[in-house]
Amino acid sequence: MNREAVARELVAVARELTGGAGISDKALYGRIRRGLLRMIRDFERNFPDVDMRYHNREISGTVAGHEVRVFYAIYRASNAEVAGLPVLIVDGKTYEKFYRDVTEQLKKVICDSLVASSRREAVRMVHKRDFYRPNPMIHQNIKQIDVAPDVDIEVWQYENNGKLFGVAFQGRAQKPLWHYRFRNEAQLKQEVLNTVERRRQHIQHKKERQEERRQFRHDLKVGTILYTSWGYDQTNIDFYQVVDAGEKSVVIREVAQKTVRQSRGADYVVAVPNKFTGPKMKKRVRPGNSVKIESYANARVWDGKPKYQTAAGWGH
């Protein structure tokens, strides 16, 4: 049985055990996911100091002639920490890899095979702006507040049980920027004025940044060495050499490095120019002569000094 079939079995089990004949597949997926999360919370709350090998809570049933069990197991590790995983057993066979990406499998099966709408609509319900605007069926004295035409702000005020509320949107956002209760209209109008002014400043700052990027010309030359310092719970250093330079972009290649000094848990490394270890990459140069290598790594000009990085065996 492949992964898709395994996920389908789980959906089928959940549908049977929840009496889900009239439940949409999207709602059923949500029920499965909430069930797994609830199991995690239950075990954390009810079994904080358990000495047994594992405990489980399961659902079981017969689907298309198959005996199916789904349970959440808690295992006691050697370091006294608890690790949990959802497990699927069909006809006595355990699908041990199932727990690693159960959520991803369910999303794929439900989105691609069981739901006619798009992946985003199936997995995540996105409310439009009308959902958050005042509703004439339940709110009173609804009025849209006029704001300055040079800002993309939309503000509504309304009353609910005699209390004054305001809701504001900005740009193309569907969710409100804020949705507050106010003591009086003067307080509401002051909040609107503050919001408009903040939006004006943001728009102006954005235009200035865009103009700065348009006007910027880098001064990186062929042979310039750049470096990145990145890492989570450890520090890694990578060096790059400029091999071609244009008006707004450069072509770089990663180069080798060598360790010139070591201490406990630390290496100090320098670049080895012209000893290339990676392919050519064309990158746009940003203000400050920085180059984005990855979402987590930005390269800047190397000053020629040894750079610290975590020594082998000392990182996570």
Q: 191-249: per-residue pLDDT in tens?
A: 999 999 999 999 999 999 999 888 888 999 999 999 999 988 889 999 999 999 998 89
**Residue 316 pLDDT greater than 80, yes or no:** no
Q: What pLDDT is recorded for position 137?
A: 84
Mean pLDDT of 36-49: 51
Q: What pLDDT is recorded for position 8?
A: 59
Q: What is the CB-side half-sphere exposure of residue 285 using CA atoms within 13 A?
A: 23
Q: What pLDDT is recorded for position 288?
A: 87
Q: Out of 20-24, 41-45, 143-147, 294-298, pick the least confident.
A: 41-45
Beta strands 140-145 and 93-95, pairing class: unpaired
When pLDDT is cut at 50, 70 and 90, the band that residue 59 belongs to is low
When pLDDT is cut at 50, 70 and 90, the band that residue 76 belongs to is very low
Q: What pLDDT is recorded for position 93?
A: 65
When pLDDT is cut at 50, 70 and 90, the band that residue 53 belongs to is very low
Q: What pLDDT is recorded for position 170?
A: 94
Q: What pLDDT is recorded for position 27?
A: 64
**Residue 168 pLDDT greater than 90, yes or no:** yes
Q: For residues 249 and 284, is the Cβ–Cβ distance under 8 A?
A: yes
Q: What pLDDT is recorded for position 35?
A: 56
Q: What pLDDT is recorded for position 62?
A: 57
242 CB burial (10 A radius; 0-12, 13-18, 19+): buried
Q: What pLDDT is recorded for position 94?
A: 60
Domain definitions of the chain by residue range: 3-123, 129-215, 225-310
Beta strands 178-182 and 163-170, pairing class: antiparallel
- Mean pLDDT value across the chain: 75
Q: What pLDDT is recorded for position 111?
A: 38
Q: What pLDDT is recorded for position 141?
A: 94
Distance CA 306, CA 312 (A): 17
Q: 89-134: per-residue pLDDT in tens?
A: 666 666 544 444 444 444 443 334 333 333 344 344 567 898 899 9
Q: For residues 154 and 179, is the Cβ–Cβ distance under 8 A?
A: no
pTM of the predicted structure, to 2 decimals: 0.47
